[in-house]
Amino acid sequence: MALSVWQESVGTILLWAAVLLRAPFVFRSPQQRGLWLAVATAVAAMTLNLPPVVTVISDQFGQGHAVGLARNVCGVVSAAAVLYFVAEMTARPRLRRWYLRGACGVLAALLVIDTANGESHDHAVTAAEGSPLLASYWLLLIATHLVTNALCVHMCWRYGRVGEFRPLISGLRLFGMGTALAGLYWMGQLVLLFFPVNWITVCQPFLMEAHGLLRAAAILVPAATAVRCIYADITIVWRLWPLWRELTEAVPVAVTLTKSRPRVLEILWPPVPWKIFVYQKVIETRDAILVLHNHVGPALVDEAHDFVSTLNIPEVRRDAAVLAYVLHEACRMKPMSGPSKARAVPASPAWLDHGDFTSEVLFLLDVTRARQLVTRSRAGSS
């Protein structure tokens, strides 16, 4: 029992952290609103189910019955949020209205039944034995959750198998798995309503914690995707920075939009958002290559091809190595303003056109790696 309480407490704290982390961003998207509200109200219900919380509230206010009622109300609100999410995903506004009306009707009916019962009880399903009124209360609550969960699992299964937007598919799958576990929990409640099976009572807390964690993971998918994208951008800037610095310092004209700063400062405090910062570094590097290439003659290009042919470099990376050699020599010459008179051939298309931005980034990173090899090889041959 102590392990179960500890797990519930830690899991609930983690869920609250996920809910609070996503709170500033959820209202931009109807789907995220539904997901977030479903998780937030589910966490509220789970918090009210923790024995320490129930004990503190009961000691302070002496209303353990109110705690149980509030927990079930939060559960119905969570179910309504799930229905809202289902309606938004299926693009059926009229269905959304019917779902919300049904949830309000269930809430009203539960409050009426609870008031009509007139007895103080702990809102446990096992307390309904011998009380038809409480049995109807729990049957209505269980049926609401089972129907809601079944609709949500069906929707997540249907839309989680198609589409190309990976974060959405991952979020749907995680939310669907969490909802399926919640359905198992309520199936257990239905069994307990008629049969006192001890092992079900032992398993239920673990089901609810796993359901909450999966739903929390679902709402954190956009955040995880954003972090992954930022990490990829940071990696590109970090790897490209030595080449960018060498080229932008060597060109006889200014090609940078901002002043050069230390590498670590660029990473910790970028002057613009990361995605724009990556574009800026790539464009500035490309512009510097164009400027330096105007100072390169065909003799240096031939020399670069001859030098690269002596190195053990795969064929697919030879263009990058040739460009790295040419740029290294061009930077070493410290060109003055004006193009080289020795240049008599146009720039190689392989150096300047790679189809799309991603391909250009990959090519420049190859040039950065080849630059290190060329520098070491030149130093060793001299």
User: pLDDT by residue (tens digit) across 223-260?
Assistant: 888 888 889 999 999 999 988 888 888 887 777 777 77
Of the listed ranges 168-172, 292-296, 365-369, the one predicted with least confidence: 292-296
- The mean pLDDT of the chain is 79
Report pLDDT for 58.
67
CA distances to 9, 61, 242, 288 from 338, in Å: 70, 84, 25, 14
Q: What is the pLDDT of residue 120?
A: 59
Q: What is the pLDDT of residue 146?
A: 94
Closest C-alpha among 310, 323, 313 to residue 367: 323
Q: Residue 73: which H helix or E strand, with range?
A: helix 64-89
CB atoms within 10 A of CB 260: 12
User: Once rounded to an integer, what is the mean pLDDT over residues 9-30?
Assistant: 78
- Intra-chain end-to-end CA distance of the chain, in Å: 74
pLDDT for res 64: 61
| pLDDT tens-digit series, residues 143-171 | 999 999 998 898 888 877 776 677 778 88
The count of other CB atoms within 10 Å of the CB of residue 5 is: 13
Give the confidence band of 36 by pLDDT, cuts at 50, 70, 90: confident
CA 254 to chain centre: 38
User: Average pLDDT for residues 294-307, to the nearest whole number?
Assistant: 78
